[in-house]
Amino acid sequence: MSFFPSDYIGDEVADYFNEAAVHQIKCAWNANVVRAPTMPKEDKVGGWMTDKDRDYSRLKKVVDAAIKEGIYVIVDWHAFNDPHIDGAKDFFANISKTYGSFPNIIYEIWNEPDGENGTWPLVKEYAEEIIDTIRQNDPNNIIIVGTPNWSQRVDQAAQDPINLTNIAYTLHYYAASHGQPIRDIALSAINQGLPIFITEYGTVTYTGAGPMNESEANLCPMPIAVYKTLQLTNLVILHFGPHPGNWLIKNLGAPIKELTATIMVRIKSIF
């Protein structure tokens, strides 16, 4: 289950970064991992690099709650074209020093690389620096590395993977946008032995909007493909209901098929 970035739209989204929401996700929806995104910098409402104390307070509520509930939490540096490496080092040094001793923590170090900064050689170079920052405090927990073209080109990572342990690679898949070409890319990478972690999955377009593409969603063999590497355990729906931690099926209504999701995995089965 992925939360929406707390600083992407405004403070109303941050209302869901709380213990009650995490408890509901685990106990009512049977999720075993939550994803807590933090943006480096956002023009309208800030981010870690301009509002560090605010964003850390929000993130800490989710991380602490996940640890209390005994589930995994993906700490996501929700960057796009520019990874803001200095901010990323500060962010992951902070998180790994504070929480690195807890096996609940998973690090997602660059949400969606794209553009001129998002070629695999540059992503790999960035990743190795951030991995080194994390490993100074946390030698073991899983680190998920973004891939080029908005975390779609896992095949490029498969051709030149990072030669370190406990590393997985991000794939983002939206059925109404991507279809068979991305599924082929994923299968190619998996056949080369690359551990893939789908941190965003949707039945709609990559914007998170529009109607569900049911035919592509039904045809998608992604859960089967990912199972070969990660052992798929669950698929859940992302939804921000009207009351934090008090969501009912009736709150979802017709849009239920248009919401995004995160694929859950048994982390211990990766390596």
* CA neighbor of 37 nearest in space, from 70, 67, 12, 62: 62
Catalytic residue among 112, 129, 214, 258: 112
| Integer Cα distance of 12 and 6 in angstroms | 8
| Integer Cα distance of 247 and 258 in angstroms | 17
Please give the C-alpha separations between residue 31 and each of 4, 25, 27, 236, 264, in angstroms, as whole numbers: 16, 6, 8, 7, 7
* CA neighbor of 40 nearest in space, from 86, 105, 4: 86
| Integer Cα distance of 61 and 137 in angstroms | 21
112 classed as catalytic: yes
Q: Which residues contact 234 (CB under 8 A, 6 or more apart)?
A: 30, 31, 32, 263, 264
User: Helix, strand, or coil here: 250?
Assistant: helix
Catalytic residue among 42, 108, 200, 258: 200
Q: Which residues contact 132 (CB under 8 A, 6 or more apart)?
A: none
* CA neighbor of 150 nearest in space, from 117, 187, 105: 117
Give me the amino acid identity at 167: I
- Catalytic sites, residue numbers: 112, 200
